[in-house]
Amino acid sequence: MPQQGDEQPAPRTPPSPGASGPAARPARAGQHTGAGGAAGPQDAAAAQAPGGPGKAAAPAGGGHRPARAAAQRLRSLPAVHRLLAHPAVQQEAARPVAAAWATEAARQVLDEERRRRLEGGEPRTPEQLALATAARLRALARPSLRRVINATGVVLHTNLGRAPLAAEAVAAVADVAGAYSTLEYDPATGGRGSRLDHVRHLLRRVTGAEDALVVNNNAAAVFLVLAVLAAGREVIVSRGQLVEIGGSFRIPEILAASGARLVEVGTTNKTRLSDYEAAIGPETALLLRVHTSNYRIVGFTASVPLEDLVALGRRHGLPVVDDVGSGLLVPPAGDGARGLAAEPSVRGSLAAGADLVTFSGDKLLGGPQAGIVAGRADLVARLRRHPLMRALRCDKLVLAALEATLRLYLDPAGAFRRVPVLAMLSRSGDELARAARRLAARLRRALGDRARVVLAPGHSQAGGGSLPEVPWPTTLVGLEVPGIPVSALAAALRAGEPPVVARIQDDLLWFDPRTLLPGDDRLLVTAVTRAVDGLITAGAQGEAGPEP
Ligand SMILES: *Cc1c(COP(=O)(O)O)cnc(C)c1O
């Protein structure tokens, strides 16, 4: 049975063995992506004005005359320029960029106040409105795309940007980002070079493939392969492999978009070699195998080993394309990494005879978002020459990050230490328990008797649609602040700078040390202390919560 149709299933195991009830609520990570269908962008919905998007700025009650009392209340609203003159707003507006947003921030706050008063809410003082304007200005002026602390334990968290890059990759990006580069220039000859050459030799080396190329993501890689090798013809796929990944990548849809025709064979749980063989005809362009990255079919099942599919393809002169998805390049090393053995490796797939293998750059490979096609030189050459290649090509920042990441794989054992995704997945249970105890001790020191901090065994997830059935044991740090609902605590942490994303379960907030990067501990303790202090102060003043 397919377990999950999405990339980030909620943690399946309650963090505490004593957790009661079957309704272990999905953690924060699960809420983003709709595990169990209960999700959706709840924060976005909550942040909208009652009138819905687009109506927020319009004065309420357009259709009817407000009561006289309400009109009275509106008259005492301060003017925009008065809010702008407040020292707190001035201080925020003095930051670079912020001045441009100041008037907009004041208008938003006044619009909200107008609505609040029309609905009979308690008027806020000019001082409160000015402070709200300063907070809104801070929010408007800060970058939208910015770092967060991932305490969810989901290593490849798609909503949080999948793989954090290795220091070497970050340095390579910085090196070429603000300067001219050898992107398509060969300094040896002074002539034109190919942007693909920066990673081509490395990809050949680390995968064992004859040739390879890179596009924007694996969806693009699969699309390119199908469009170039199979448009107008038939592609045979097992019904058990018609996967959907991350909501927007569905094998049947990508196939249709590429112009190839899907020929489904077998059933959901069983597909035999004879099913493929019977479907082969004059229109067949290739045989496609898709790794069921984010679910497993278990029980009464049969699937065709890649070797057998390759032998069949050879007999009929048909290429076999293997979409392995996650891009595991090296055999697992280290105690904690044993779970990776369940994932197909790129090298293994090529060794089994796949003519082309496609995979992501930012899943288990641990690099930037990219899609890689590796395999037979004549087929890769056809892809490279096709006009679609121009539309799907990567930019210099991606290529710099990918080249630097691939270099780390020249020393496979070193890759497990230096590629963050691999390092996180290979952390041992003991190491994680020690990290959890250290974090708990710091939180207790910082929070004193304002909060309760506990430790519990739990599980992390590989995420990103990889290894759904592998439990990654960890130790979780739980936080409870008496008198503060856990949802308010989570919201305050998400609103902090940097935002901290954690799991909610059994009315506690849980932090998984597995996905904390070096230095995150300290930031997390500061963020938690600030959030708890803010909530306790706001509670003492009888406010609903912090300004969003
Ligand atoms: C993740 C995945 C994709 C899509 O890859 P992106 O890099 O997200 O575009 C395609 N196929 C499989 C099997 C995958 O696991």
Helices then strands, each counted (H, E), the chain: 22, 18
How many whole angstroms separate alpha carbon 528 and alpha carbon 453?
Answer: 12
Residue type, 117: R
Burial 482-498 (b: 16+ CB within 10 A, else e): eebebebbbbbbbbbee
Ligand 1 center from residue 64 Cα (angstroms): 53
Ligand 1 center from residue 136 Cα (angstroms): 38
Helix axes 68-75, 102-118, angle to 10 degrees: 150
Residue 174 structure tokens: 């910085």
**pTM for the predicted model, two decimal places:** 0.84
Please report the sign of the dihedral spanned by the C-alpha atoms of residue 83, residue 84, residue 85, residue 87.
positive
Ligand 1 atom 13: residue of nearest CA: 325
Pocket test for ligand 1, best of 214, 217, 218 (most atoms within 8 A of CB): 218
Unique residue bearing structure tokens 């004041």: 106
pLDDT at 342: 78
Ligand 1 center from residue 326 Cα (angstroms): 7
pLDDT at 49: 32
| Pocket lining for ligand 1, CB < 6 angstroms | 217-219, 222, 245, 249, 290-291, 293, 323, 325-326, 360, 371, 465
Unique residue bearing structure tokens 């942007």: 195
User: How would you classify the pairing of strands 154-156 and 452-463?
Assistant: parallel
pLDDT at 425: 93
pLDDT at 3: 36
- Give the residue among 339, 345, 332, 349 at the shortest CA–CA distance from 419: 332
Per-position DSSP letters for 181-213, written without gaps between them? --TTEETTTTEE--TTHHHHHHHHHHH--SEEE
Ligand 1 atom 12: residue of nearest CA: 325
Fold exhibited by the domain 167-418: Aspartate Aminotransferase; domain 2 (3.40.640)
Q: Write the DSSP symbol of residue 101.
A: G
The rounded radius of gyration (Å) of the Cα atoms in the chain is 27
pLDDT at 67: 62
pLDDT at 543: 53
User: How would you classify the pairing of strands 261-265 and 356-360?
Assistant: unpaired
Ligand 1 center from residue 361 Cα (angstroms): 10
pLDDT at 46: 32
Residue 464 structure tokens: 């990103």
How many whole angstroms separate alpha carbon 100 and alpha carbon 105?
Answer: 10
- Give the residue among 252, 238, 231 at the shortest CA–CA distance from 288: 238
CATH of 28-46+152-157+424-540, one of 3.40.50.720, 3.40.50.460, 3.90.1150.180, 3.40.50.10860: 3.90.1150.180
Ligand 1 center from residue 154 Cα (angstroms): 17
Which mean pLDDT values do the consecutive 10-residue runs of the chain (548 residues) have? 37 38 35 32 32 38 56 83 93 84 93 92 92 91 93 95 97 97 96 96 97 97 98 96 81 94 92 96 97 79 91 98 92 72 90 97 96 98 97 98 98 93 94 98 97 97 79 95 96 94 97 97 97 89 51
Residue 157 contacts residue 150 (beta carbons within 8 Å): yes
Residue 197 structure tokens: 């050459």
Q: Write the DSSP symbol of residue 400.
A: H
How many whole angstroms separate alpha carbon 189 and alpha carbon 193?
Answer: 9
Beta strands in 283-442 (DSSP E): 284-290, 320-325, 356-360, 371-375
Q: 262: which strand partners?
A: 235
Ligand 1 atom 5: residue of nearest CA: 218
